[in-house]
Amino acid sequence: MGRNLVEKIMAAHLLSGSMTPGEEAALRIDQTLTQDATGTMAYLEFEAIGAERVRTERSVAYIDHNTLQSGFENADDHRYIQSVARKHGIWFSRPGNGICHQVHLERFGIPGKTLIGSDSHTPTAGGLGMLAFGAGGLDVAVAMGGGAYYITMPRVVKVELSGRLRPFVTAKDVSLELLRILSVKGGVGRIIEWGGAGVKSLSVPERATITNMGAELGATSSVFPSDENTLAFLKAQGRERDYVPLSADPDASYEKIISIDLDALEPLIACPHMPDRVVPVSSLKGVKVDQVCIGSCTNSSLSDMLKAAAMLKGRCIAPSVSMSVSPGSRQVLTMLADCGALSDILSAGARLLECACGPCIGMGFSPNSGGVSLRTFNRNFEGRSGTRDAKVYLVSPETAVASALTGEITDPRSLGIAAPVIPLPTSFRIDDSGILPPAGPEDAAELEVLRGPNIKPVPAGRPVADEICAELTLKLGDNITTDHIMPAGAKILPYRSNVPKIAEFCFEGVDPSFPARAKAAGESFLVGGVNYGQGSSREHAALAPLYLGVRAVIAKSFARIHAANLINAGILPLCFADAADYDRLRQGDTLRLRDIHAGMESGTLTLEANGAEIPLVCAFSSRQRAILKAGGLLNYTREAEQ
Ligand code: MIC
Ligand code: SF4
């Protein structure tokens, strides 16, 4: 039996464990990336582990999330990351150089290599044929120190593409179509492998749009083959030497195959407030639009920007629309400037924002109250834009521009203009001056790491006790995102390196009284519905509850990265054996878990609540049990090194 692409890359990196779905596999990690909003924690953890130099082939620290610097906090974080990177062997991409996933694709990604990043959209690099995973900062810190990355071996689903996208139908619409088919939990426990004859018609940046949004399916990763289009991209980036052809064997097997005919797709749009609420753009014709944003790690490549510029050239956006454009990297921005496309964008009335995440993570450009915002981004969770009652829709750059021009949701095909056709350039503008190399090992010892007063130590986890009796301080519903648990945005993001402070905002949009209640309770439980913790990789969504005394989260099911982050923080993620038991628990109940250690071994525990006994399940590997008993991955790693 032949191997699929995922099995091939995994087999080449398997250190121990098994490639059987559901079992734990330990992978060798070739590259890591961090961004600043999760990076400060990751490097504090790296320092706490005590490693001197990174042991990966390439580790890169990007600054792209917190670039507003509305106070000293972000500037201190940047300075800390720059100095810690230089000392420990990590490349540093300066603020303004671009969004981590875009720059990594351009300058560092290599087909067939493994990458983990402290950002859930790290699988973007799958567009280049990398096997890339989003992870918590602590997992990245351990991988930087040369440790393995452990995952529960996912099943592999193939998406078979046929045909070719028609004018004004884009890679974004392919992503939205798969979200429509599978939903935001359809990818959980799975890797999406893209294949079929239709793949040949997609360039690397288009493939990267698709692998980027695999995160919204809850998928562990997404990957494309590496072929002549990959070679063309790498060649144009001056990196032909990094090319390796990669494909699945013709007789490879998959859990299932989903077929998408590119010819049959039309422009799609995800409605508020979930990326899987997908309908045809034409079905929303006429809905008034207040704001349009083009950018984010999903759609900020040069070709996305050039298409937008071509549609805007010689036209003007509607007076009622406020439009922003944030190119994904300095490479993209300088090339737009060089060819005059930037001036087409500006003349049409768009506002130019920095090459950074910006409005995607609520760092400025929040919509007006109750406003309708069309964004080329990947997430439209309620409140994430910074405006609680805004209605955020997700679209392609083409649909975004069409709607900006008319002032209402518009299928670009109805504009009566020709669809822009933008071939991949034969050479990109290469200027790596925004990427600073690390110091050599001989100079590193002398270098000082620069800290600031907002940078506080990582909170220590506590070994999981054999019995927990505590209050259920917050009961939550289905699809709770990490944006619910630990919101981002301009007000809160500056505290990412200060867990005691950021914990004051935990569940702010859901129940602002939670932090005080949890603190008063001392220890407590949380209860959630299905897919608890979906979205971001931010380990703050585990560290803030840890700081507030949360000892266990009981849910119908968990999102992968968040469950790993809870374990890494020493918090028990447990599931109801029967989802209907969720209804038997009320906020304020006193819950008791006994014989926890034996239950962690056997996989079944009993929760006592309101005189009833509720069966719970868990499936921890022996390593995860040891981490929980040590009080988190940091304690576990330190103990292992003694
Ligand atoms: C996001 O898109 O939610 C973020 C901000 O990039 C996060 C990381 C973070 O919270 O810092 C992610 O996707 O992991
Ligand atoms: Fe940045 Fe948005 Fe991408 Fe997250 S999803 S990395 S916030 S651009």
- Helix 633-641 / helix 622-630 crossing angle, nearest 10 deg: 100
What's the mean pLDDT in 46-59? Answer: 95
What's the mean pLDDT in 582-605? Answer: 98
- CB-hemisphere CA count at 13 Å for 592? 8
Matching CATH number, 268-410, of 3.40.50.12780, 3.30.499.10, 3.40.50.720, 2.40.110.10: 3.30.499.10
> What's the whole-model pTM score?
0.97
Atom of ligand 2 nearest to the CA of 298: 3
Is residue 297 within 6 Å of ligand 2 at its C-beta?
Answer: yes
Q: Name the closest ligand to CA 101.
A: 2
- Strands 190-195 and 221-223: what pairing? parallel
Check whether 100 has a pLDDT greater than 90.
yes
**Percent of the chain whose predicted confidence (pLDDT) is above 70:** 100
Distance CA 516, CA 240 (A): 56
The alpha carbon of 118 and the centre of ligand 2 are apart by a number of angstroms equal to 11
Q: Name the closest ligand to CA 357.
A: 2
Among protein residues, the one with the nearest Cα to ligand 1's atom 10 is 538
Mean pLDDT of the chain: 97
The alpha carbon of 72 and the centre of ligand 1 are apart by a number of angstroms equal to 21
Give me the CATH code for the 468-641 domain, please.
Answer: 3.20.19.10
Q: Name the closest ligand to CA 213.
A: 2
- Strands 155-162 and 256-261: what pairing? parallel
Q: What is the CATH architecture assignment of 5-264?
A: 2-Layer Sandwich (3.30)
Q: What's the pLDDT score for residue 640?
A: 82
Among protein residues, the one with the nearest Cα to ligand 1's atom 5 is 361
Cβ contacts of 520 within 8 Å, gap of 6 or more = none
The alpha carbon of 488 and the centre of ligand 2 are apart by a number of angstroms equal to 11
User: Would you state the structure tokens that stand for residue 219, as one six-digit string?
Assistant: 């998928």
Distance CA 608, CA 606 (A): 6
Q: What's the pLDDT score for residue 641?
A: 72
In one-letter notation, the amino acid at residue 614 is I
Q: Name the closest ligand to CA 296.
A: 2
Check whether 451 has a pLDDT greater than 80.
yes
Atom of ligand 1 nearest to the CA of 540: 10
pLDDT by residue (tens digit) across 439-449? 999 999 999 99
Q: What's the pLDDT score for residue 506?
A: 98
Atom of ligand 2 nearest to the CA of 35: 6
pLDDT by residue (tens digit) across 83-92? 999 999 999 9
Among protein residues, the one with the nearest Cα to ligand 1's atom 12 is 536
Is residue 488 within 6 Å of ligand 2 at its C-beta?
Answer: no
Helix H or strand E segment including 433: none
Q: What's the pLDDT score for residue 196?
A: 98
What's the mean pLDDT in 262-289? Answer: 98
pLDDT by residue (tens digit) across 300-325? 999 999 999 999 999 999 999 999 99
| Mutation pick for ligand 2 pocket among 60, 361, 492 (CB with most ligand atoms within 8 Å) | 361
Check whether 1 has a pLDDT greater than 90.
no
| Mutation pick for ligand 2 pocket among 119, 212, 536, 538 (CB with most ligand atoms within 8 Å) | 119
Domain edges within the chain: 5-264, 268-410, 468-641
Q: Report residue 544's pLDDT band, with 50, 70 and 90 as the boundaries.
A: very high
Among protein residues, the one with the nearest Cα to ligand 2's atom 3 is 297
Check whether 642 has a pLDDT greater than 70.
no
**Among 551, 547, 543, 542, CA closest to 607:** 551
What's the mean pLDDT in 88-100? Answer: 98
The alpha carbon of 19 and the centre of ligand 2 are apart by a number of angstroms equal to 30
**Residues framing ligand 1 (Cβ under 6 A):** 37-38, 65, 119-121, 134, 361, 488, 535-538
Among protein residues, the one with the nearest Cα to ligand 1's atom 2 is 536
Is residue 354 within 6 Å of ligand 2 at its C-beta?
Answer: no
Among protein residues, the one with the nearest Cα to ligand 2's atom 1 is 357
Q: Report residue 116's pLDDT band, with 50, 70 and 90 as the boundaries.
A: very high
The alpha carbon of 626 and the centre of ligand 2 are apart by a number of angstroms equal to 33
The alpha carbon of 482 and the centre of ligand 1 are apart by a number of angstroms equal to 9
Q: Report residue 20's pLDDT band, with 50, 70 and 90 as the boundaries.
A: very high
Atom of ligand 1 nearest to the CA of 384: 3
The alpha carbon of 133 and the centre of ligand 1 are apart by a number of angstroms equal to 13
The alpha carbon of 194 and the centre of ligand 2 are apart by a number of angstroms equal to 22
Atom of ligand 1 nearest to the CA of 215: 13
Check whether 353 has a pLDDT greater than 70.
yes
For residue 83, count other CB atoms closer than 10 A to its CB.
17
Fold match flag (268-410 vs 468-641): no
Q: What's the pLDDT score for residue 173?
A: 99
Is residue 121 within 6 Å of ligand 2 at its C-beta?
Answer: yes
Q: Is 286 strand, coil or helix? A: coil
Cβ-in-10-Å burial (0-12, 13-18, 19+) of 280 comes to middle
